[in-house]
Every structure is written in C-alpha cells, then in structure tokens.
Copies of this chain bind each other. A is one copy, B any other.
Amino acid sequence: MTRERSDVTTLQVDLGERSYPIYIGQRILDDAGLYRRHIPADQVMVVSNETVAPLYLERLTTALDGFRVASVILPDGEEYKTLEVWRQIFDALLAERFDRQCTVIALGGGVVGDMAGFAAACYQRGVHFIQVPTTLLAQVDSSVGGKTGVNHPAGKNMIGAFYQPRCVIIDTTTLDTLDDRQLSAGLAEVIKYGLIDDPEFFSWLEHNMERLLARDPGALAHAIERSCRDKAEVVAADEREGGRRALLNLGHTFGHAIETGVGYGEWLHGEAVAAGICMAMDLSRRLGWVDQADLERVVDLMRRARLPVAPPAGIDRDAFLRLMAVDKKVLGGRIRLVLPDRLGHSRISDDFDAEKLDQTLRQYGRSPG
C-alpha cells in the first residue's frame, strides 16, 4: 500500500532489535503510509504543545485517519519540562483507557519529544513511540538516540530513560514556521557535530551559514542529514553512554549549568550550548590543545549563527562549580568534560589542569547584579 517515495532520505539507527529509521523529506508530516508502517494497533496519543498544535496537529490527525486518535497539549517551554506537566500525559492516556499496544507520537520540539518519549517509556512499563520533531534542534539532535526525561529544579534531565522510538519523521518544511531564535538555537547543535569529529562539515558550515539562516531548503536538508548521520553513528556505537556517546555532550556541562543557573526557559537549550561550546574552546586553548585562531573561528561562527558566545551575568565561578557538580558527567567527584583537542575533533577528559578550568570559569563567570 505504501510506495517508497524517491524524495525521502532514509537513515538507519543501528541498535539491533531496537534499530529504527529516520525519514527526512519535505511535507512528510502527513504521509499516512509512514505512520501506517510503524503503528501496530489502533490507539494513538499525539503529544504536542500550545505553539505547534495549532500549526500541525490537524494535518497529522487527518493523516492518521482510521486510527483512534487522541491528543494532549502541553504548555510550551523548557520551564514546563517537569514531573508535574509530564503527569498530564498519563492522565490523558488513562482517560482514553489506552492499553499496552497504543502508540505515543511526539509532535513538537525537544521538550515535547523528551517528555512524550519518557511517558511512552513508562506507560504500562513501555508502549510504542514515534518522534515527529518540528524544530531544528529536535530534528538534528534530541529526536534521535532515545534520551528522554524531565528536569528537576536541581538539575537538567535528571529523571528519565533511554527509550528508542520506532521511527523519526523529519519534515523539513516545518522549519518555515520556526522563529529565528529557535532556528539559531538548533544551529548550535549542528555546529557541535562539526567540532566533535567532522572538520569537513565545520568548514561547510563556515561557507553556508547565511544560506542556513535564509532557510535555503537544500542547505537545511544537508545540515539535518549530516547531523543525523553523525549522531546515529555515535548512538549505534554506544547507546547508553558508557563511553563515546558522551562526546555528544560537548558544551553541555557548561550549558546545563547556565540553563539551571538562570532558570529553565530563560535561555533556550541551544543558546546555552553555544555559550558552553565557546567556554570549552577557551579551556582547550588554555590547555594548549587548540590555538587562539581556532577559538576565534568557533566564536565567529556562533556569532554569525546569531548565538551567544558567553553566559549571561549572574553565574559566577562558584555557581558554575556548584551547578556542574550535579551534572551527569561527574564521576566519582571529578569533573569530566568534552573538550576539542583540535578544530573538528574532541575528546572526553577528566585529566586536565584544574587551574585552567578555574581560569575559564573566572573569565566567563560574572557575579549577579
């Protein structure tokens, strides 16, 4: 019944029996065939938010004609990624009396995907799950790899599960309705892939940043595909972050401290990651792993992507140390960081001169007020 469309790119995340495809294409959000292929029974719960639902929920629901579809609309923003809001998904599932064979679809950005995925992981100890990311950040990062969860006031993503979707459906035309700030936030994660292990992609980004900001469909498609490919490879090698997968946290230990420190929702996740990557580059420079010119190239690219290159005032050195101490990247009391060791390559390390980290934190940290 479903014809393979030639204009859809399919990537595979190789995880044995938990393997799944990522579909990337234009106007595939309502491709009924894709859903029919991955939904095993008739009950479907769409989880979305107040911003995305008015734009796309009806199109998705129409494509799901023939299924028994219900939806739950969450408030929009990182500050709502809490246990309390998460609970609303269970209220909706139980109000519909949905059973173990039901499918949860996340329609929205990273917050919706993380919460819907974590609810799918826990409802009746696990039901089917599909990601339909509608922000650049979710399309290039959070929808792929199975990290789900919610925040705790004391730390980002502290409560969650590894839970893989049955498929990821990336409709690049949804970026047409994304606001500029959200687009830029997504670009921070795109630049991240270039810095972890893809110097060629970093260079491509330097040459194509203006096309991306102008939402050139070809440029966006390339950036999304390359990012998903890079991420799928790392996740396939290390699903539960025993080693290599931690590389994907480049800029995130500093970034999570920023998000928690200023209050969830004040800064977008991608904005905090951008500043965090600049801090990681600064530390690498102090360690002599990269030089001043490399640092400037990264800072320059972030600026061109309209992203912050330093944290906001209000988080000083002591606050950074305190906030970083609860991050999941801490092991046995030592701070473990992902640090570039040349432009386009990073390593995981807890073996660096702590004094240099202190210098970076003093340089970037500023007292409140």
Contacts and interface: CB of A to CB of B under 8 A. Distances in A.
A42 B333 CA distance: 11
B332 A41 contact: yes
Nearest to A325: B97
Nearest to A95: B154
Q: How many monomers of this chain does the complex have? A: 2
A154 B91 CA distance: 8
A94 B166 CA distance: 32
Contacts of A326: 94, 97
B155 A94 contact: yes
Nearest to A159: B122
A87 B153 CA distance: 12
Given A94-B154, A152-B94, A154-B94, A328 B87 contact: no
B121 A161 contact: yes
A264 interface: no
Given A126-B162, A159-B123, A161-B125, A101 B332 contact: yes
Given A87-B83, A90-B152, A94-B154, A332 B159 contact: no
A214 interface: no
Nearest to A83: B87
A161 B159 contact: no
From A125, A152, A155, residue with most partner B Cβ within 10 Å? A125
From A90, A91, A325, residue with most partner B Cβ within 10 Å? A90
Contact of A147 (B95, B101, B125, B147): B125
Interface of A: 41-42, 83, 87, 90-91, 94-95, 97, 99-101, 121-126, 147, 149, 152, 154-155, 157-162, 240, 325-326, 328, 330-332
Given A121-B161, A125-B328, A126-B161, 14 more contacts: A41-B332, A83-B87, A90-B158, A94-B158, A99-B331, A100-B328, A100-B331, A122-B160, A122-B161, A123-B158, A124-B160, A125-B160, A125-B162, A125-B240
